[in-house]
Amino acid sequence: MTEHDHEWKFSVTRDQAEAFLARIAGQLELEVRDAAMPVAYTRTTYLDADDLPFHRSHDGPVRRRLRVREYASARGAADPARLTGVAFLEYKETEARQRVKLRVPVDLQEAANLLRGGRPSASVAARFGALSATIATQLVDGTFSPRVTTWYRRISFRGESVRITIDEDVRFALPPAPGVAGDPAEPPWSIGVLPYRLLELKPMRDLPDWLAQAVDGLTEAAHLSKYHLGMQALTAPAQTRATQPLMIPSELRRERS
């Protein structure tokens, strides 16, 4: 799957995030993939070659990322998160606010191979080849190893031609061992926590007026990269105090009419 869209990023406090949610109530609906395990988490392990071309691209006009993204869920914010068994290999390019993301589902065996520094299987490379021959060649010819992992609780909202996510308790960690569905998902070796939440707007086109008004006054973090921050956390002390769960307005918990 190939995604072409735009991306606005903001670093927000708890008060700013809750004020934003109040402003968009009635426009979007909360995404819940599993009613029995409604709290969603994402575990993303970034892959890079020994000379770190993807990490170094942070300082260039086009930022490039290669990652294994795994999903987890929990009954409540205070309960342990468990891997769902759903995973993807993703390649992402971002230039200014425009992004292109190539996304291929991988089974647990394939994910484990990639997380151990192995090359993708022929079938995965072929699926990437159908999206981008250039990236497929890089995957087959290159050697990529796991460098750093990010872990966060994600709240997602969807409306017409726009998706919004808020990432809370964003942690950086050493890459964990591969797991299977039902395993504890939180990486055991945390090396830092962001002191703020990340608000991301992903419209297919420009921001609609109501959404532009909702983010008016917020500080945009256009060049922010979880991978870049995670690599920094490997060598520099980072905050370790977690951010607490947001209160979701009832209007956003109901399905839109």
pLDDT in tens, 116-163: 988 888 888 888 777 777 777 777 777 899 999 999 999 999 887 889
Cα separation of 8 and 187, whole Å? 28
> Is-contact 16 196, C-beta < 8 A?
no
Any idea what the Cα angle at residue 41 is, between residues 248 and 229, rounded to 5°? 105
- In the chain the first and final C-alpha atoms are separated, in Å, by 29
What pLDDT score does 80 carry?
A: 94
Cα separation of 50 and 127, whole Å? 25
* Token pair belonging to 96: 């200014």
- Tokens 């995604």: give the residue: 3
pLDDT tens per residue across all 257 residues of the chain: 655 568 899 999 999 999 999 998 888 888 988 889 999 999 999 999 999 999 999 989 989 999 999 999 999 988 999 999 999 999 988 887 787 888 899 998 999 999 998 888 888 888 877 777 777 777 777 789 999 999 999 999 988 788 999 999 999 999 999 999 999 999 988 898 888 999 999 887 788 899 999 999 998 988 889 999 999 998 875 555 555 566 666 556 554 43
* Token pair belonging to 243: 């951010």
**Domain 2-253, CATH:** 3.20.100.30
What pLDDT score does 97 carry?
A: 79
Beta strands in the chain (DSSP E): 2-6, 8-12, 29-30, 39-48, 63-74, 82-95, 98-106, 145-159, 162-173, 190-193, 197-203
176, 201, 102, 172: CA torsion to nearest 10: -20
Alpha-helical runs (H) found in 145-215: 209-214
> Is-contact 201 218, C-beta < 8 A?
no
**pTM of this structure:** 0.87
* Token pair belonging to 56: 């170094």
If one counts every other C-beta atom within 10 angstroms of the C-beta of residue 144, the result is 22
Cα separation of 248 and 242, whole Å? 18
